[in-house]
Structure 1
Amino acid sequence: MNRKWTMPVGAMPVGIAVIAALVVALLGGTITDLGPWYQSLHKPAMTPPRPVFPIAWTVIFALAATAGVTAWRNARDVRTSDTVIGLFALNGFLNILWSLLFFRLQRPDWALIELILLWCSIALLIGYCARISRLAAALLLPYIAWVSVAGLLNWQVVQLNGPF
Structure 2
Amino acid sequence: MHHRSLPAQVAGLVVWMAATLLAGGIGAIASVDAASFYASLNQPAWAPPASVFGPVWTALYVLMGVGAWLVWREPASRERTPALAVFVVQLAVNALWSWLFFAWHQGAWAFADVLLLLVLIAVLIGLFRRVRPLAAALLVPYLVWVGFASALTWAIWHANPGAL
Q: TM-score, normalised on structure 1?
A: 0.88
SS in 2 for 1:51: helix
Alignment pair present for 1:113 and 2:109? no
**Equivalent position amino acid for 2:115 in 1:** I
Q: State the partner residue of 1:43.
A: 43
1:8 corresponds to which of 4, 11, 28: 4
**Equivalent position amino acid for 1:59 in 2:** A
SS in 2 for 1:47: coil
State the Cα distance separating 1:75 from its structure 2 match.
4.2
State the Cα distance separating 1:28 from its structure 2 match.
0.7
Q: Which moved more, 1:94-103 or 1:32-41?
A: 32-41
- In the alignment of these two chains, the number of paired residues is 158
SS in 1 for 2:43: coil
In structure 2, what is the Cα distance between the partners aligned to 1:18 and 1:9? 18
**Equivalent position amino acid for 1:50 in 2:** A
Q: Relative to 1, partners in 2 of residues 1:62 and 1:129: Cα closer, same or farther, differing over 3 Å?
A: same
Q: State the partner residue of 2:152.
A: 153
Q: TM-score, normalised on structure 2?
A: 0.88
Question: What 5-or-longer segments of structure 1 have no aligned partner?
Answer: 1-5
Deviations 1:4-58 (A, max 9, x none): xx94333111011111012011111111132654332101111112221111011
**Equivalent position amino acid for 2:93 in 1:** L
Q: Relative to 1, partners in 2 of residues 1:85 and 1:7: Cα closer, same or farther, differing over 3 Å?
A: farther
**Equivalent position amino acid for 2:5 in 1:** V
Alignment pair present for 1:52 and 2:90? no
Report the aligned-residue RMSD. 1.8
Question: What 5-or-longer segments of structure 2 have no aligned partner?
Answer: none
**Equivalent position amino acid for 1:40 in 2:** S
Q: Relative to 1, partners in 2 of residues 1:36 and 1:18: Cα closer, same or farther, differing over 3 Å?
A: closer
Deviations 1:126-157 (A, max 9, x none): 00001111111100000010000001110101
Paired residues for 1:8-157 under 5 Å: 8-10=4-6, 11-32=10-31, 33-34=33-34, 36-77=36-77, 79-157=78-156
Taking only the aligned residue pairs, the percentage that are identical comes to 32
**Equivalent position amino acid for 2:128 in 1:** C
Q: State the partner residue of 1:3.
A: none
In structure 2, what is the Cα distance between the partners aligned to 1:118 and 1:63? 16
Q: Relative to 1, partners in 2 of residues 1:36 and 1:140: Cα closer, same or farther, differing over 3 Å?
A: closer
Q: Kindly indicate whether the alpha-carbon contact (under 8 Å) linking 2:126 and 2:136 is maintained by their aligned counterparts in 1.
A: yes
**Equivalent position amino acid for 1:144 in 2:** L
State the Cα distance separating 1:92 from its structure 2 match.
0.7
